[in-house]
Amino acid sequence: MWKQYGNTIAKPCIINGENTEPKLLGKKTPPTITCTPNNTQWIRLSGDGGKTYISFGPETLKAVNAFSARFLQVLNAWEKESSIARFLQVVNAWKKQSSINIVEHLISCLMALKITDIDIATPRWIPVVEAGSSWYFNALKDHVIPNHNRIVNEIYVDENIINQLPSEEKLANGMTRKVSPDKSVEYTQMDHGLERKFVIQKDTTLTIEIQQGKHNDVMDLEEEKFTLYFGDKQEWFEKHMAAKPIARTKKILPYMLLQIFSKMTGSKAIWPKNYTMIYPRSTKEQVWKSMKEQYREGHNEYCAHTAASDVPAELYAALHKLWWVTIDCKISLSNTNHLSRMKVINQILADELFSIQR
């Protein structure tokens, strides 16, 4: 079955950021993001004012771990080569423009709005203006229009492919893949004694469920699982798109570095408005109380943030390779981060679990 569908925006839209950009790394004026409609069948990003664009997809999206922060980066022509080759490529990309950091909240917003055709000109560091995707969502929601000239495919989880997989297999990248009798596919990996798990199975709509979100460098917050349903309407997304992640600053060194950095640069990228802060002397009760009221009982605001503002962007990278419209599947996650999820996303693409409905 082919479906005629695809949203863009009616006209160029400027999203004004806040003063979260460190003064010594960029302009002192608030950063801006310019969104422009296109008919390219892609989300494209530019870090040089629109002179060149990078298409958002699995070949260009990379998870980064730097200074205890984990985020996403878009590179022009990223290839999986040796460490030296990768380093040279990153240096090259920096000289030419082509690395853009922190894109997940913006891309998750586009997925919720079902925007598939848009150009985005940004600073190289897309500003963290609020905790999640709400800043971008509220700026774009009234400008969305359908692109009737765009033919896009319906995507599904292919059971024929799943039937050909062994019931359990240790993969070359260190993960283990298991196939259950109900046709769900589970990817697991161990990371410093913590099991990270990613399970995908057929469902009646796109469902993202965070079973738990433990970190090695954060106290056990006894979180309850959190489930987000992506349907034709956006109510579920709108309810949770401002959920805050956790600032992992319980240890004294990360905490002190953050304080020094914030005072030197004037940056407010990591502070209580954007993050659930964990300080060196924080107790569980203090952390729970600092979460938004709707999450305090379940202690799971950071799980809601992962479901609404992080995972959709990573999933979009995989589905957009096939021209995304919607996919009916349930994704269950435990203890994942950007690095582990992107590793699984790439493995799912290699396994060809997603197919086009004809």
pLDDT in tens, 144-164: 988 777 666 678 899 999 999
| pLDDT greater than 50 at residue 176 | yes
Which CATH number fits the domain that encloses residue 128? 3.30.230.20
Instruction: Look at residue 262 and tell me if it is in a domain.
Output: no
Q: Say whether both 57 and 70 belong to one domain.
A: yes
Q: Say whether both 296 and 315 belong to one domain.
A: yes
Final residue before a domain boundary, out of 103, 124, 152: 152
Buried b vs exposed e over 318-346: b needs ≥16 C-beta within 10 Å?
Answer: bbbebbbbbbebbbbbbbbbbbbbbbbbb
Q: Say whether both 133 and 112 belong to one domain.
A: yes
| pLDDT greater than 80 at residue 177 | yes
Average pLDDT rounded to a whole number, residues 259-267: 76
Q: Say whether both 330 and 196 belong to one domain.
A: yes
pLDDT for the residue 68: 59
Q: 224-254, pLDDT tens digit by residue?
A: 999 998 876 678 889 999 999 998 888 888 8
Q: Say whether both 182 and 242 belong to one domain.
A: yes
| pLDDT greater than 70 at residue 51 | yes
pLDDT for the residue 92: 52
pLDDT above 90 coverage of the chain, percent = 44
Q: Say whether both 165 and 294 belong to one domain.
A: yes
Q: How far apart are CA 275 and CA 219, in angstroms?
A: 16
Instruction: Look at residue 29 and tell me if it is in a domain.
Output: yes
pTM attached to this predicted model? 0.87
CA distances, 82 to each of 59, 95, 175 (Å)? 16, 20, 20
Q: Say whether both 76 and 120 belong to one domain.
A: yes
Final residue before a domain boundary, out of 92, 126, 152: 152
- Please report where in the chains the tokens 């992080």 appear, as a residue: 310
Cβ neighbours of residue 327 closer than 8 Å, sequence gap 6 or more: 155, 156, 157, 206, 319, 354
Which pLDDT band holds residue 347 (cuts at 50, 70, 90)? very high
Range of the domain at 75: 2-152
Final residue before a domain boundary, out of 116, 131, 152: 152
Which pLDDT band holds residue 72 (cuts at 50, 70, 90)? confident
Q: 80-117, pLDDT tens digit by residue?
A: 444 555 555 545 544 444 678 878 899 999 988 888 88
Q: Say whether both 115 and 211 belong to one domain.
A: no
Q: Cβ(276)–Cβ(245) under 8 Å?
A: yes
Q: 10-31, pLDDT tens digit by residue?
A: 999 988 766 455 554 544 556 7
Average pLDDT rounded to a whole number, residues 293-310: 96
What backbone torsions phi and psi does residue 149 show, to the nearest 5 degrees?
-85, 0
pLDDT for the residue 187: 98
Instruction: Look at residue 97 and tell me if it is in a domain.
Output: yes
Structural domains of the chain, count? 2
Average pLDDT rounded to a whole number, residues 62-89: 63
Edge-to-edge strands of the sheet including 99-101? 61-66, 69-75, 99-101
Mean pLDDT for the chain?
A: 83
* pLDDT top residue among 118 and 357: 118
* pLDDT top residue among 46 and 262: 46
pLDDT for the residue 182: 93
Instruction: Look at residue 255 and tell me if it is in a domain.
Output: no
Q: Cβ(227)–Cβ(209) under 8 Å?
A: yes
